[in-house]
Amino acid sequence: MAVTTIRHSLPCTKCGYDLEGLEARGVCPECGTPIVESLTARLDASTARFEDMPNPRRVAGTVFLGSLGALGGSCILLALLIDLVAESTGTTELRTAVTPLRNTALVTTAIGFLGFALVLPWRREQRFMRAKALGTVGFLAWCAAALVDVSTVSTTYCALPATLVLFAIAPLLRALAPRSRAYRNARATAQRVEGLLLSNGLAGGASATALFFADAPDLSGLTGTLRAIALAAGLLTIVGLAYLVLNAAWLVRASLKPLLSVEETFGRPDSSKPG
């Protein structure tokens, strides 16, 4: 006969009563809610055990801080866009928004740097070591870009550190995703960083090419087109980063209230057999 006794702390979804030691087919003795409802909310029947990971809450926190830092760091691109519009239209009042955007980028990239430097647990595993190195270097470069006067910054200066940061976030995102049922099952929250890397690379490449041809008067049309492509790709990247922040928030939520495996909930399959 299958073992249906709850062998792990399981709070009732309605009143919070600990259901450990009760039969899964019963009801909560405090409020009468069927225990199966609490199991549905916390039990992960599709994953027997999760990948071994040092402090998944800190890893999820790093992904969230890194995503937030990347989104905030993109304010440099918005500041650059405003500066270009102000220069082309002669509307100097627009430039009053440049300094707050640069300050926002500086603060958030510093937060992202601290996330990878201090929050991400140290582990002697290649992907974690690579993530820590790329994340800290990427955000340091991003901080430097935020300190430079916006008139001397191009989309390339934002795209290069963003690429390093995205390469740092990607393996952590893949490792954490199975721990979040919402992230794994809901198509609306599924996201891979490859699309972000593509739009970010397009922004940086088009901007760098435009800078290369900037001194050629006969190619002014091409230069303008490349700058427009760079800005459009950069804005698309910002939208993707905002989406990444929402996904990272789901992962943090999942790490604070992790799902239970069948083995954790009911014990090993042979635990009820006589020794």
Longest Cα–Cα distance in the chain? 87
pLDDT averaged per 10 residues in sequence order, the chain, 275 residues: 73 91 91 88 62 80 96 87 74 81 93 95 86 95 85 73 93 80 54 83 84 75 83 88 89 79 64 43
**How many angstroms separate the CA atoms of 248 and 195, rounded?**
16
Q: Taking the model in full, what pTM does it have?
A: 0.76
**What pLDDT score was predicted for residue 51?**
59
What ranges do the domains of the chain cover?
Answer: 1-47+259-275, 56-256
Q: What per-residue confidence (pLDDT) applies to 212? A: 78
Please state the φ and ψ torsions of residue 49, each to the nearest 5 degrees.
-155, 150
Task: Give residues with Cβ within 8 angstroms of 169, minimum separation 6.
Answer: 63, 66, 67, 70, 131, 135, 193, 244
